[in-house]
Amino acid sequence: MDEKIKVSIVGGSGYTGIELLRILSLHPNVDIHHITSRNDAGRHVYEVYPSLRGVLNHRFTSPDEIDLKESNLVFFATPNGVAMEYAKDLLNNGIKVIDLAADFRIKNIKEWEKWYEMPHKCPDILPKAVYGLPEVNREKIKNAQLIANPGCYPTAIQLALIPLLKEGLIDPLSIIADAKSGISGAGKKNKADFLMSEASENFKAYSLQGHRHQPEIEENLSLNSSLGKAKLLFVPHLLPIVRGIHATIYVNCIKDFDASVIFNKFYEKEPFVDVMEANSCPEIKSVRSSNMCRISFFKVPDTKQLVILSVIDNLMKGAAGQAVQNMNIMMGWEETLGIHLIPLVP
């Protein structure tokens, strides 16, 4: 067995934080060190999340009262703008960092500051950040010290599009992404829209004038497009479920190709992408609580249009599961270690 590393989680009381704890508490190569939460400092983790009773005896601590540099690797499951307050000091002391928020996802500083409405605190270390989509950037992740863990919508959408864009098979300027997320995608917020009594038996679009994930998606799709800049019309929706993302993506083909061949070739060795049969419909429940992305597609008869369907669990492949996948790659461990989980049904 590999020697254990000390791992700390900043922002451990949110939904992605508790998902990290669920995975890491059983990871054979990890010793959980600090778990921070300003709101719950001093309380046992199991007092806030009884599911971890008998699994973790840690208390939440304030990030101001501990030394994160005692860790080998630090996860930031925090709101946007927090990780960049700590990242430079940690990196200078040889600590690996995985940020599950958006602080290092977009390379264009002006674009980032426009969408996140705050000045970036450490633009000088942004070039060191590797975008943590393993199926595309695995070799860079192996040698990275700072990982920008992708957003949930971007993960589902990019995995559906990159194999086609790399081959120059679709028009990169006419992509439509119609995506739906469960309530947990908004984080642990005391806001009326995200109360189950408000969201249940309801369905609606939001952020019609632009979602913060759009520039992240477009920047990374463009980097992986053989035809240059990619643009998309992206409309997110709120589903009346707790977890899961379903992305239905519409593209215009500019060459004749067999989508089954393209997707299966690109993902044939990927442990967490399941390419389903053409014309099948992947379901959110089929990936629930797993790190799997399931993809299918449908060629519209007598047209050049292709519909791609992509489903993930927003808290796993869209956040914590992918973060642990990145950690495994960074540490040179088996990539599936601790996250080779069968989806929960029912």
What residues contact 261, with CB distance under 8 A and at least 6 apart?
A: none
Residue 9: helix, strand or coil by DSSP? Answer: strand
Question: In whole angstroms, what is the distance from residue 274 CA to residue 296 CA?
Answer: 9
Q: Which alpha helices (H) appear in 268-335, and where do they start and end?
A: 320-331
Residues pairing with 176 in the sheet: 233, 250
CA distances from 84 to 172, 244, 308, 310 (A): 32, 28, 35, 31
Query: Which residues are designated catalytic?
Result: 152
Question: In whole angstroms, what is the distance from residue 289 CA to residue 285 CA?
Answer: 9
Tokens linked to 147: 């990982």
Q: Which alpha helices (H) appear in the chain, and where do they start and end?
A: 15-24, 45-48, 83-92, 109-116, 134-142, 152-166, 196-199, 213-223, 259-267, 320-331
Q: What is the DSSP letter of 217?
A: H
Residues pairing with 234 in the sheet: 177
H or E segment and range at residue 34? strand 30-36
Residue 231: helix, strand or coil by DSSP? Answer: coil
Burial grade of 200 (CB within 10 A; 0-12, 13-18, 19 or more): exposed
- Are 325 and 25 in contact, with CB atoms under 8 Å apart? no
Closest CA to 290 of 277, 275, 308, 271: 271
